[in-house]
Structure 1
Amino acid sequence: MPATLAPPPCDERFTSLVDAGRLAEAAEHAAHALGPRLAVWWGALSVANAAAPDDEPAAAALDAAVAWVLHGSEATRRAAEAAGAAAGVKSPAGAIAIAAFWSGGSISLPGQPEVAPPPGVTPRLVASAVSMASLSAPTRPAADARLRQFLRFAAELLAGENLPPAPEEIKP
């Protein structure tokens, strides 16, 4: 996890994709630009904003993803893996938790030789989860409006606003 949490400034490509209505591409671009920790934070904010998870595995997965963002430990990353697997990657909350697990570290079982996650998995999972969360709206226009709202969350994070506290700032 990088020592600094300052995200890059909101870039012209992101803005042009949103303005052109290419919302799925804008979500993927934002997830890559944010980096793993902020992308998972954005995904968790978006999923929670769409609707509180309606089952225990999804709620636990969302909680585990947020715990990883806030604490950034190997233990919270592994807990996100377990919670995400229980919720399933086809649920937005499960995908966000799995994205936290695939953000770095080893993806092999504990005690086994280390295997790095393939590059780009976390942002793709986050972008998919954000898109899935937007589709919980009752109509396509409402889903597009919801996705635009989620992209505003991403723009704020890209601008350095509404950042999560750094792990060292969290009191036990």
Structure 2
Amino acid sequence: MTLNRLLITSVVVENRPVRDVAAQYGVSESWLFELLARYRAEGDAAFEPHSRRPRSVPTTTPVETIDLIVELREKLSAAGLDAGPDTIRWHLEHHHATVVSRATISRYLTKAGLVVPEPKKRPKSSYIRFAAEMPNETWQSDFTHYRLRRPGGRPGADTEILTWLDDCSRYALSVTAHHRVT
């Protein structure tokens, strides 16, 4: 039994006061009165939970604008011109007096199936970690620039730190510091 059914049954069938039922089941009296009004208006449909989706969204892009976006995309593509979101946005603003964000245009072009997805990053599964099989098979070398400080915090000599690493064991074979070479 759902909570809505239990609350309505307690008040309507058992004739218990709304205050007592609300206190017993830990709901507010105003919610219980709203539930009873819904039961009187809808009948047994009040037992089922209602959607929380708003009835209207005032900031939704109008259908006419969406159709215009798709139409502009097709016209620009057919003419061999750039038909990206920035170009469509410019045409909407200057020729149709409509301001729509670049992201909104891109979203509706994708929904209409007019955009071919081209991911910028490779999937992580495509990365193959390079590692040597045996010790001393492959070494890696790297250098880091470091500026030494003199006493008192004044800038000192430029230094390069050279590191040699065994690729199998990942141990540093050698770390040395040298004067900067240009």
Q: Provide TM-score, normalisation by structure 1.
A: 0.19
More helix by share: 1
Report the structure number with the largest CA radius of gyration: 2
RCO higher in structure (CA 8 A, sep ≥6): 1
More strand by share: 2
